[in-house]
A and B are shown apart, each in its own frame.
Chain A
């Protein structure tokens, strides 16, 4: 009898119990590996910290790893080798990201529009091929393109020589510049575009499929040509997709590591392709200066947050269709 008529609220208690029992360990686990490192990361920016030195006290912060206040932050602006290296890395990251975003959009948006305009079977063939590089390991991408750019047996130089030209030292020439941009940086941009454009093509295609056909049909009736339909219908209606793509592309271009580590051999030549993520890795794990490296990581975090907020604000969607 008692079993057949449960007490009021026991069902809710059972559900609460289940939610608590399952979610608590998952949340605690997740926070332990995200929020704890985040707080720890902020903490060590105020110390001259290296795990190779035995510190004392809480988390080894103290003793041989002394508290230095905001000196790590001041170091970034100082006229010291570390400060200069940071500013070179920051400059290169800015060059890379600001060039990559328009380059990517100029290539992926038209390609997506064109792929959407062909018949459905060919469409899925094109999409499959264009997306293929994105699943390829970044290390393999770096090695393959490294071989393509290779000065003696690379495809580019073999081709150029067959046509009677001299080749280039694509990835190691510190002097050649195109429009002021070092040749190795341009090579990395082209490779990154190759490995990354499939994502945006797929996202743009999904966005294009979401635009109702009636708008285009009405425009055709009104005598609009293909460019006018793209400029005055597709582009405005694609605005939310465009915002999303711009933010995501910008975010991922701040975080490129493998190409700069493998293809241009740790930011070479002459630090022309040294970017912030590479600088953080080298400072923390090669030179074991983790306090300083964590400070650079905080700067990267701030930049990423600020650019995201600016882009979201500039491109805020204020109407629906």
Chain B
């Protein structure tokens, strides 16, 4: 009896107290709150589930009625088809996207932090005019300058090359703006102390400023990574050769070849967004904080 009774009371306590605590306060309003939020979550997740599910379905299950969200029979056929297609050098496209993204992120982090440092901690003639100029370039949408920018690349002879994707993206007005805001918060006394100790100006940037900018660099780096990895319009204009395509361009090209095979296009989409989703789950704290702080996309 005692042996039997004890777990029962325990059970009663654990199941009893938890709902009682909230149960008293669960109002119709709170039920509605969770209902609305759940509907929103379904709206947000269904396309992802549909994409994943379809990519693992067989060609016959795709058109089955009623539709299945989770495939009845998981098959890797669509992924294997993409991997084994000699006309789709997937490794090449991944490499192109990685080269372009990595180059731009590295250069933007370097130029933005250096210029941000100078704007934040140095006094010189024309500083405000220059900074206003940077803010002004932030206001010009890319679509307005893309035509002449393409003409610039034609003159430089770097159209249809990865260089043409990288070179115009090496600096970022937004990056300089963001880094300046952050570096202004670093006390100038630290810099003065380093100067008295005989540090060079570049040494101050490299040894004093950079080590303190971890979170700001991570935030800017993630934004730049997402923007470059997902960019479509600029590669669409610049790249014409198949081997120089980046992943988003590969995706629309693949869709134009296999538009009626949803399993294939969805598998290709999964392969393109997978790296960025993984990175998002690792770095989402920085992304969310960065947007909350700067408000920019």
Contacts and interface: CB of A to CB of B under 8 A. Distances in A.
Interface of A: 11, 14-16, 18-20, 22-23, 26-27, 29-38, 40-41, 44, 51, 59, 107, 110-111, 114-115, 117-118, 126-141, 143-145, 147-148, 150, 152-153, 155, 158-159, 161-162, 194, 199, 202-203, 205-206, 226, 244, 248, 251-252, 254-255, 257-258, 262, 277, 280-281, 284-285, 290, 293-294, 297-298, 300-301, 304-305, 308
Interface of A is mostly: helix
Interface of B is mostly: helix
B151 A300 contact: no
B186 interface: no
A37 B230 contact: no
Given A148-B47, A254-B141, 8 more contacts: A14-B201, A132-B48, A137-B232, A147-B50, A148-B46, A158-B67, A277-B143, A281-B233
A212 B141 CA distance: 36
Contact of B124 (A16, A161, A206): A16
| Most A CB within 10 A of own CB, among B167, B176, B297 | B297
Contacts of B287: 131, 135
A194 B272 contact: no
A162 B65 contact: yes
A22 B124 contact: no
A126 B37 contact: yes
A44 B48 contact: no
B41 interface: yes
20 contacts: A18-B122, A23-B119, A129-B45, A130-B40, A131-B287, A132-B48, A135-B276, A136-B277, A137-B276, A141-B47, A144-B269, A148-B46, A152-B63, A153-B262, A155-B50, A155-B67, A203-B292, A257-B143, A280-B146, A284-B150
Contacts of A32: 152
Nearest to B114: A22
Chain B: interface size category: 35 or more
A20 B130 CA distance: 12
Contacts of B272: 137, 139-140
B44 A258 contact: no
A23 B277 contact: no
Contacts of B146: 280, 284, 297
A20 B41 contact: no
Interface stretch (B5-13, B86-94, B212-220, B248-256): B248-256
Contacts of B142: 255
Interface string B126-162: 0000100110010111111111111110100000000
Q: Which 4 pairs, one residue from A and one from B, show the smallest C-beta to C-beta distance?
A: A206-B292, A18-B201, A162-B66, A37-B148
